[in-house]
Amino acid sequence: MEAALAHPVFEPLRPWLDKLDRPLAPRLERLNALAEMAGLKVENGKAVRFVPPSGSSGGYGDYEMRVFESGQVETRPDNKHDLFNALAWLSFPATKARLNALHAAEIPREKGRRGRFRDLLTILDEGGAVVECDDAGLIDMLRGFRWRELFWENRDRVLSSMRVRVFGHAVLEQALAPWPGITCKVIFAGANENAGNDADAQAAAWLGRLSTQATPRELSSLPIFGYPGWFPGGDSSEFYEDTRYFRPFKRDAVSA
């Protein structure tokens, strides 16, 4: 586990990971001490606290509404998915609070059926990442699914000019056992030396500018283990020609 957590994909979580007990597990007392230390709040001002599951599935949208109204985030013991959700709250507090507030605002309007806007929010919450980059050429390659050109032919440029900050807790859980097919849906932010906090602020600001008519088409796909050096054996041109993982552009690929 410790070797897996040393991977750069976990770098945005590092300040909080290093404060957790080992073996890594979601002990609520410790997570809540860290939440208090960080001053975590949902957007209505309630303090975020990690609590045991209630045992009730609740009604439509009950989870997000309960988080927004009470600050209580249900967290299952010994569950890595829930642990990485808590770590995402600690590492990207503005982004997580904005996602939750947007869910809470939209749920009463949906009449019991989740719409495309909340599909976008859910996809980001589970599998989102911020790409920090000011190089328009690299961004065009990413948006165009030109993976070999991006990660192989321009790998030095990528290493110097592009950073990937993963906040989607499902992807973070999957990253404990990396494979080339793990894909994030990404939003873009400007590069900044103060990368961690700035990525959170910029992601939250991006969400704040979204129209409620937005759909997952707003998001770009990124096979994150194509990033140079992130996957063992990924140091060849042939690696990026494997279309099982590095898929070519398809017009309907952005509609997922």
Buried b vs exposed e over 192-214: b needs ≥16 C-beta within 10 Å? eeebbebbbbbbbebbeeeeeeb
CA atoms within 13 A on the CB side of 229: 10
What is the residue-level pLDDT of the chain in tens, covering all 256 positions?
788 999 999 999 999 999 998 778 778 999 999 999 999 999 999 999 999 998 766 666 789 999 999 999 999 988 999 999 999 999 999 999 999 999 999 999 988 888 999 999 999 999 999 999 999 999 999 999 999 999 999 999 999 999 999 999 999 999 999 999 999 999 999 886 554 458 999 999 999 999 999 999 999 999 999 999 999 989 999 999 999 999 998 755 443 3
Question: Are residue 75 and residue 146 in the same domain, yes or no?
Answer: no
Q: Which structural domain range is residue 148 located in?
A: 126-255
SS3 content of the chain, % helix, strand, coil (to 5): 50, 10, 35
**Which of the listed residues 122, 138, 163 is the one where a domain comes to its end?**
122
Question: Are residue 138 and residue 247 in the same domain, yes or no?
Answer: yes
Q: How many domains does the chain have?
A: 2
What is the pTM assigned to this prediction? 0.92
Question: Are residue 91 and residue 143 in the same domain, yes or no?
Answer: no
